[in-house]
Structure 1
């Protein structure tokens, strides 16, 4: 369906994966440049071992699930495979919703302990709840939490292997950088 299937097997086992880091010390999204701490919604991290494509140490970091996957797809296009990809696990936090201009936004969480491997998350996609880039992938480590979120806020459930460029392009916020 998409190119995620090409790198899904390359993420390695849990013992080989680097641990997620805290994103509380500031920084900009490595895909779109937005300041992480200034925006709501899911945050992401992608590790590339010695092939870190960015100028900073550690993983590439992102303001949204959408930016995370778009970046990973772009890196895959140039032959770089991630060793780990993490997104906010909304089953691991007490999230809140806020309203801005009539739209609902989900809270951001930046500490290392709130990130889970994308392989362990069920994603609510196309809900009426927004993140930094508008409609986004909202990940839950507990599938029942994801189902309850979709029941309340709409959208559909997807697994990591189902995320593709085509799926991302269906979101209103898809930006071609």
Structure 2
């Protein structure tokens, strides 16, 4: 076999291997991009505490976890983080969604204002309460989070800075 034919055969084998491995990737970009926050129904219960989600004020959270097709919904960002940061679940979390409270009334967040929780700014320790008492205000921009903290107190944190101890 001449060098040119061997080179073409090697390239073909490599391409087939790459395509095959890409297809096996459980966290493919297309799958993660298809995940989105879903509307809350009035009778839905919090995945962590079982309380009715829509009966309480403050930002809510939604999570997609590897191996589970349905998203998990939470009555507060605090409950969502209590679940998502738990060592049993932390490494399986694929997508996180929270309300942008800069464009929502605190008592009734809108279904159209979910944002990517990994990109959000959070205010912990404010005087505003959620379903289980203290909760984390969630915001799309740092400026909105700073304005909220100035009015209601609290400290700004990014997603990756949050731990079970801080919430």
Q: TM-score, normalised by structure 2?
A: 0.75
Give the Cα–Cα distance (whole angstroms) in 2 for the partners of residues 13 and 145 of structure 1: 30
Q: Is the 8 A contact 1:48 1:59 kept in 2?
A: yes
**Mapping of 1:72-111 within 5 angstroms?**
72-74=84-86, 76-77=87-88, 81-91=92-102, 93-95=103-105, 106-111=106-111
For residues 151 and 14 of structure 1, the distance between their equivalents in structure 2, rounded to whole angstroms, comes to 39
Q: Could you say what the CA RMSD is over the residues aligned between the two structures, in angstroms?
A: 2.3
How many residue pairs match? The answer is: 140
Distance 1:81 1:94 in 2: 29
Deviation at 1:16, TM superposition (A): 2.9
What are structure 1's unaligned runs of at least 5 residues? 1-10, 96-105, 169-177
Deviation at 1:88, TM superposition (A): 1.1
User: Which segments of 5 or more consecutive residues in structure 2 lack a partner in the other structure?
Assistant: 1-26
TM-score by length of 1: 0.71
Distance change (3 Å), C-alpha of 1:64 and 1:12: farther
Query: Partner of 1:46 in structure 2?
Result: 63
Q: CA deviation at 1:13?
A: 6.1
Alignment of 1:9-158 (within 5 A): 16-17=32-33, 18-49=35-66, 51-52=67-68, 58-74=70-86, 76-77=87-88, 81-91=92-102, 93-95=103-105, 106-111=106-111, 113-158=112-157
SS across alignment from 1:123: strand
Work out which structure has the larger RCO, using CA pairs closer than 8 Å and 6 or more positions apart in sequence: 1
Task: Classify the secondary structure of the residue corresponding to 2:32.
Answer: coil
